[in-house]
Amino acid sequence: MMMGCVAAPDLDEQLVGEVAQPSICGTTADFQHVEQYDGTLGVTAGFVGARESPVGQIQWKSDLASRYANPGNVSGTRTCSGTLIAHNLFLTAGHCFDPDGNGWTWPRTASSTPISASQGAVEMRVNFDYQEDPSGNLRTAESFDIVSLREHRLGGLDYAVVQLARSAAASYGFTVVSTTDAAVNDMLAVIGHPSGEPKQVDAGPATSFSGDYIQYGSLDTLGGNSGSGVLHAASGKIVGVHTNGGCTSIGGANSGVRITSILEESPILRDVTQRLVVFAKGSDNAIWHKFYDGGWSSWTSLGGSLTSSPSATLTREGRLTVFAKGSDNAIWHKYYDGGWSGWTSLGGPLASAPAATVTREGRLTVFARGTDNAIWHKYYDGGWSGWTSLGGPLASAPAATVTREGRLTVFARGTDNAIWHKYYDGGWSSWISLGGATTHDPAAVVTAEGRLVVFARSSSGELVHRYYDGGWSSWISLGGAIASGPSAVVTAEGRLTVFARGADNAIWHKYYDGGWSGWISLGGAMVDQPGSAVTPEGRLVVFARGTDNAIWHKYYDGGWSSWISLGGALTSSPAGI
């Protein structure tokens, strides 16, 4: 029984109806709202917190009558679920784009023929954050128009990949596609929008495989769950796309297309791994980069006359952009959009390396410390704003991030060696001291559970951090003897991991997984602060400049690799993305 738009629409609620035959496994529905999940369904609350954000809901646009004399009965309806698998690519079920059927009438052309699957797709959008908060209040969803149906039912398989109008990964992340199937009895989870409702989760074991399908019992689904990623509890990766119901009150199983079958047919999923890119300043003061695409490219110069480490980010439109301070103390940037632009000056004067991020509204924003020791920023919203001072005085380069609630927050070390921060929430707050006695530049990150965390090196050489979870904690020492500023990242599994160069010039790291690990040495003979990134395949990578001025890296894939040289003659800390 197909599990998509399967009942006449309730136009008042604009939700999909439930299926005529239930697909509840047993006598009760076990769904829980993702932000209220209590960890009792077979996966942890941390797993759900780390995996729910890239899950979205497909909805027809509500103005079909303005474009079609016969708009059908689908306007505004919430139809299917799916998962962001790259910055602007969304994986879902193929039948979500099959015209008509199951009580639904698609818009008609002049000849009374239903519009095509491709045309129908661009009349839809994907909503993220359509969910209840921990108190049961409905969050404000953010919508992304679908601009193309990239793949649909290749090989006859019930899957589709659509492209969004802009990148959603900056705010919502993405989920890694597995290259292998789950095994029977492995725990699975489905996060989606049952009956078009706010985002919910259920979990259950894989029970069997049949041809191209994976089956799972004790895992409830309803109409509206179609297209949800079938998530593997152990790895957090997508091992299937939910498509069919089959559970009853006395048995049966629901099912989806297994990921290995899709990979055999889908060029996009085989190539969904975006290139891992690393940037650094060369001994010639140009910015150099190399990328990984099945193997590492050679170093390529982007030119320029720069004096700082680079900062790189991905815009909402999927445009890779790199910033650095020039020899004229202006901030310069260039971007890749099928080819590299020239360097463009954003003016100045500035005295620190830049920090760039993308706001929830899609504004590309760059911060730097000015020659007056204030933090300055400018943003791109169809064009670049002027530089605006946020005041100070500060003594370090800034670190910027965006919280789960969409609050743009910037941190820097003050001239008093305390960490200071301010945030934008309709307007900029004043600077707020977090105290401390710190050295070097801070690092800030938002955990999978939505906790804002800032790290710094203390004046005694320890790593310290504090976090915001409704209020700021005190400073907490993580110990160690570090000689650089920290680099922090959240892994594909939702594990908060922090790196720093030790007093022995090795790279050390520790991670939080319900509690902090001890410090673990990764070895090496490095200079400067490390950089870290997570690839779309979910591989954690750390970069550092060696005493030979080459960039070295190692990666974690079930265990740490050895250090691998990327060569080069570089003079700055690396930036990986």
Q: Which residue has the higher pLDDT, 303 or 248?
A: 303
Share of the chain above pLDDT 90, in %: 73
Q: Is 267 helix (H, G, I), strand (E, B) or coil?
A: helix
- Torsion angles phi and psi, residue 264, rounded to 5: -65, -30
Whether residue 53 contacts residue 172, with contact meaning beta carbons closer than 8 Å, is answered with yes
Instruction: Report the DSSP pairing between strands 551-556 and 238-244.
Output: unpaired
pLDDT on residue 170: 66
3-state SS, residue 84 = strand
The CATH code for residues 32-268 is 2.40.10.120
Q: Domain 345-568: state its class.
A: mainly beta
- The values of phi and psi at residue 118, to 5°, are -65, -40
230 beta partners: 190, 240
Rg of the chain over all Cα atoms, to the nearest angstrom:
24
pLDDT at 517: 98
Alpha helices in 231-278 (DSSP H): 259-265, 267-270
Its pTM stands at 0.65
Q: With beta carbons less than 8 A apart as the criterion, state whether 74 and 80 touch.
A: no
Question: What pLDDT was estimated at residue 33?
Answer: 97
Q: Which phi-psi region, left, alpha or beta, contains residue 426 (left: φ > 0; alpha: ψ -120 to 50)?
A: left
* The predicted structure's pLDDT at residue 250: 59
Query: What per-residue confidence (pLDDT) applies to 16?
Result: 41
Choose among 285, 224, 258: nearest CA to 29: 224
* Residues 232, 248: Cα–Cα separation, whole Å: 23
pLDDT at 273 over 90: no
Separation in Å, CA 577 to CA 292, 422, 535: 11, 25, 8
Cα 73 to its chain centre, rounded Å, is 34
List Cβ neighbours of 143 (8 Å cut-off, separation of 6 or more).
Answer: 59, 125, 126, 127, 128
- Domain locations in the chain? 32-268, 345-568
Residue 53 has, within 13 A of its CA and on its CB side, a CA count of: 25
What's the pLDDT tens digit per position in 200-237?
999 999 999 999 999 998 888 888 999 999 999 999 99
By DSSP bridging, strand 388-389 and strand 399-402 are unpaired
Helix, strand, coil share of the chain (percent; to 5): 5, 40, 50
CB-neighbour burial class of residue 139 (10 A; exposed 0-12, middle 13-18, buried 19+): middle
Alpha-carbon distance of 192 to 209, in angstroms, equals 22
**Average pLDDT over every residue of 246-268:** 83
Q: Are 186 and 204 in contact (CB under 8 A)?
A: no
The stretch 394-414 carries a mean pLDDT of 94
Mean pLDDT along residues 165-169: 78
Between 359 and 391, where is the model more confident? Answer: 391
Tell me what pLDDT residue 360 has. 75
- What is the arrangement of strands in the sheet containing 438-446, beginning at the earlier edge strand? 438-446, 452-458, 463-468, 476-477
What pLDDT is stored for residue 274 in this prediction? 55
User: CA 95 → CA 1, 54, 79, 81, 307, distances in Å?
Assistant: 12, 21, 10, 12, 53
- Pick from 41-50, 349-358, 528-537: least confident: 528-537
Give the max Cα distance, the chain: 77
- The answer to which of 218-222, 440-444, 463-467 has the lowest mean pLDDT is 218-222
